[in-house]
Amino acid sequence: MPRLDNTSFYLDSLTSHGETAKGVQWQSTQSQELRFKVLREILPEDLSELTLVDAGCGFGDLHRYLDRCNSLPGRYIGLDVMEPMVEAARRRTGCEIRVCNVLEDRLPHADYYLCSGAMNNLTREETWEFIRRCFAASRHGFIFNLLKGTDGPGSYNYQQPRDLHGLALELDAEPHLKEGYLSGDFTMGFLK
């Protein structure tokens, strides 16, 4: 069971802030795009022949960021559980965007899976299952960011990079860790 109700959590944000970074619970566009930049650094330089799946794509902001950086993949697929976000992402990107629950639905195969923020309100167990499923559906790896810290009673899910190294070992993945770009945040790539 998620730490909170996704529907009300995101619909409240969408109603209050519209199709903005705050509408998907980021503090600012700058912090959202800094996270995208770090995700991008772990990917290969040339994405033109690759398929990327954005798990928890929100409004398609990662696609728009990659477009501005002249770094679009050959194919981009967005997945999100929230129909209003899926509709907005389709309109804003012109790409294939699917209503999909990563923890329950069949996932499309892709070269890489990416996730920025969509695991932040899951339980620890759900987060690890999300990682396992995205990694299994990828040919080359899964790259994601999480909040760094000790899990507590609040709405958000906190993880420690050292704990995820054990999961990488279980999955026979090569972990790539990036820290220090934002306080309380880290990015990890599980590569094959």
Q: What is the CATH number of the domain that holds 29?
A: 3.40.50.150
> How much is the pLDDT for 120?
87
- With a threshold of 0.95, does the pTM exceed it? no
Where in the sequence is the domain holding 136, given as residue range(s)?
6-191
The b/e string for 63-99 (b: 16+ C-beta within 10 A; e otherwise) is: bbbbeeeeebbebbbbbbbbebbbebbbebbebebbe
DSSP 8-class letter at 126: H
> How much is the pLDDT for 22?
45
When pLDDT is averaged across residues 148-153 and rounded to a whole number, the result is 75
DSSP-derived 3-state class of residue 96: strand
Q: Does residue 1 form part of some domain?
A: no
Instruction: State pLDDT tens for residues 37-81.
Output: 999 999 999 999 999 999 999 999 999 999 999 999 999 999 999
Q: How many CA atoms lie within 13 A of 77 on its CB side?
A: 17
Total structural domains in the chain? Answer: 1
Q: Does residue 111 form part of some domain?
A: yes
Instruction: Compute the distance between CA of residue 152 and CA of residue 10 in angstroms, rounded to an integer.
Output: 21
List residues bridging with 31 in a β-sheet.
Answer: none
Contact 2, 122 (CB under 8 A): yes
